[in-house]
Amino acid sequence: MYNPTLIDPPDVGAAAIEAKQHVVLGMPHLSGTGLSEHWLLKELGHVHWQLIAQAAGRIQPDFRDDRGDPVYAAFCALSVRDGDFGAARENDCLTVRSRLDRLSRTQFASRHELTIDRRRIGVVELISTFVRRDGDRASNHTIARYAVAGLPRIAPDGVGADLAGTAAEHRAQRLVEHLGFAIDMPPVASFRFSPCPSTDFNGAGFLYFASFAAFADRAEWAHRRAQGLTAVMLTTVRRDIFFTGNLDPGEDLVVRIMAETTLGGGMTGHHMAIVSEPRGLSLARLFTLRQEGRSNNFGAPLQRDAVALIT
């Protein structure tokens, strides 16, 4: 959101920061339930970072602070909406149309529209903030926001503004409920994981933002196994994640399933919290709607009605 005390007024004549790409889907892009959400989030995170470089007039996104240390774009929120990932098949051509806006001194938002054969299968919004590791010890627990110079002016009411506002409410602990789930409640189940540096962390040494969703899916799968529901495949229709922390390699995390609900038509909902272990520091909150089975008809009226119940 635009704050005139922090930065110059928006440049209304500035060119849009956009990109478009086509991906022929193969095994790296697919999962057992259709389009791989894990691959998708990592790819869109890369596009987001490249668009920030484009916005700054740079060929490469190599940003540095006044000490010459690297500055990164850490994701603080994401939203997957209208997901129909089960419709994706091998050799389909996925088209991704992306746009980036600057929301504040340190925050950028990107919106990515996904289509196959001109049919939309989802929209993803990403909110990032510039951070650097603070202090003498290079720890993921000591990161601080940093304002980078030479970037475009703020776009008031840009893409992702609503999501960024909800994320700010969550960080300030003012968010009471989201998607019909109360924030303050005891967990119904918990699952502990040990993130692996070679698969769950990124090249900057942070627990990758896409890994949070992957750990949530593993916890959901383990919970469903305990209920005898292992044969059921689930794909994401809606997922909102608000990030509040990170881990150092060698630390564990716990996924707490705070609530689950059945919405009808094969739709289920989950509210999860991810915390560090053993300190119990908050790392993320996740709110997810998932559809059973691989279907090309996720937009049936029953499913739409189920989504409407909690949006």
Residue 227 corresponds to which amino acid? Q
- 225 lies in the same domain as 302: yes
pTM recorded for the entire structure:
0.88
Average of pLDDT values for 96-124?
Answer: 96
- 20 lies in the same domain as 133: yes
> In 161-300, which residue ranges form alpha helices assigned H by DSSP?
161-171, 209-226
Domain assignment of residue 194, given as a range: 185-311
- 213 lies in the same domain as 121: no
pLDDT digits (tens, 9 = 90+) for 42-56: 999 999 999 999 999
* Rounded CA separation 160/81 (Å): 12
Percentage of the residues of the chain whose pLDDT score is greater than 70: 87
- 154 lies in the same domain as 194: no
pLDDT digits (tens, 9 = 90+) for 128-187: 999 988 766 678 888 888 888 888 888 777 899 999 999 999 999 999 999 999 999 999
What three-state secondary structure class fits 212? helix
Measured between alpha carbons, how far is residue 217 from residues 38, 66, 257, 262 in Å?
10, 40, 11, 17
Single residue among 159, 174, 206 that ends a domain in this structure: 159
Single residue among 108, 141, 159 that ends a domain in this structure: 159
As to burial, measured by CB atoms within 10 angstroms (0-12 exposed, 13-18 middle, 19+ buried), residue 239 is buried
168 part of a folded domain: no
175 part of a folded domain: no
Number of domains in the chain: 2
What three-state secondary structure class fits 90? coil
Rg, Å, the chain Cα set = 19
Residue 220: pLDDT over 50:
yes
User: What pLDDT was estimated at residue 9?
Assistant: 43
Lowest mean pLDDT among 97-101, 229-233, 250-254: 229-233
pLDDT digits (tens, 9 = 90+) for 115-136: 999 999 999 999 999 998 876 6
